[in-house]
């Protein structure tokens, strides 16, 4: 893990996640009745819970809108959920004003072009291993894991490690 990423992670107060391709593998599943389902990784969910327990706020910004994501955010206790919002930078600015935070205090994990303006603006902008190549080129770092396969957990642990809180977060379960 690079010292630059750890340095960027030290002052993070808000971690933001995209959904499709980040918290999921990016595939969309539609049933005959038109309903949709997604699969989420429990390791990612635990990582998000660990972040929140350490005092880091969390948010989801997704260009798509689905009840499945609302349910997942509620189950994890993620307080800031924005769905159906294509211009993620506008949402970021709204959220920063609401929480009285600066760009440098934000970490973002994304995978595709709509995520790129936020990735480039925040203090720690990362891409998942399965992200579009152009996004990977412009991110501060890239997870080893693919979206939906533990990438969010890796991102959460990086922030916790940077803040010297990973051992305490793990020890809470001993």
Residue 133 reports pLDDT greater than 80:
yes
**Other residues' Cβ atoms within 10 Å of the Cβ of residue 73:** 23
Q: Could you tell me if residue 69 is inside a domain?
A: yes
Helix or strand run (H / E) with residue 111: none
Q: Could you tell me if residue 70 is inside a domain?
A: yes
Annotated binding site for Mg(2+): 18, 111
> In 33-165, which residue ranges form alpha helices assigned H by DSSP?
42-53, 67-76, 88-99, 116-121, 133-138, 151-162
Residue 169 reports pLDDT greater than 70:
yes
- Give the CATH number for residue 116: 3.40.50.1000
CA angle 138, 21, 140 (to 5 degrees): 20
Note the pLDDT of residue 161.
96
Residue 173 reports pLDDT greater than 90:
no
Q: Could you tell me if residue 11 is inside a domain?
A: yes
Q: Could you tell me if residue 165 is inside a domain?
A: yes
pLDDT band at 109 (very low <50, low <70, confident <90, very high): very high
pLDDT band at 1 (very low <50, low <70, confident <90, very high): low
**pTM of the predicted protein model:** 0.95
Note the pLDDT of residue 142.
98
- CA distances to 101, 156, 166 from 104, in Å: 8, 16, 21
Number of domains in the chain: 1
pLDDT band at 152 (very low <50, low <70, confident <90, very high): very high
Note the pLDDT of residue 123.
98
Of the candidates 101, 124, 100, the one whose C-alpha atom is nearest the C-alpha of residue 4 is 124
Q: Could you tell me if residue 174 is inside a domain?
A: no
Q: Which domain holds residue 14?
A: 3-169
Q: Which of 33-37, 47-51, 138-142, 148-152 has the lowest mean pLDDT?
A: 33-37
Annotated binding site: 18, 20, 111
Whole-number average pLDDT of the chain: 95
Note the pLDDT of residue 96.
98
Q: Quick: pLDDT tens for 20-37.
A: 999 999 998 888 998 888
Task: Write the DSSP symbol of residue 126.
Answer: E
Annotated binding site for substrate: 20
């Amino acid at each position: 893990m690079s010292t630059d990423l750890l340095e960027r992670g030290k002052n993070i107060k808000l971690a933001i996640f995209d959904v499709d391709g980040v918290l999921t593998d990016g595939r969309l599943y539609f049933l005959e009745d038109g309903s949709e389902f997604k699969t989420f990784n429990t390791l990612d969910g635990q990582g998000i819970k660990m972040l929140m327990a350490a005092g880091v706020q969390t948010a989801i910004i997704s260009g798509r809108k689905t009840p499945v994501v609302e349910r997942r955010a509620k189950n994890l206790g993620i307080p800031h959920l924005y769905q159906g919002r294509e211009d993620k930078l506008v949402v970021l600015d709204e959220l920063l004003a609401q929480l009285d935070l600066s760009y440098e205090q934000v970490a973002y994990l994304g995978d595709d072009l709509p995520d790129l303006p936020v990735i480039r603006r925040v203090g720690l902008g990362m891409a998942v291993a399965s992200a579009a190549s152009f996004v990977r080129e412009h991110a501060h770092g890239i997870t080893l894991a693919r979206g939906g396969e533990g990438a969010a957990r890796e991102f959460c642990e990086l922030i916790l490690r940077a803040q010297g809180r990973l051992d305490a977060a793990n020890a809470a379960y001993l």
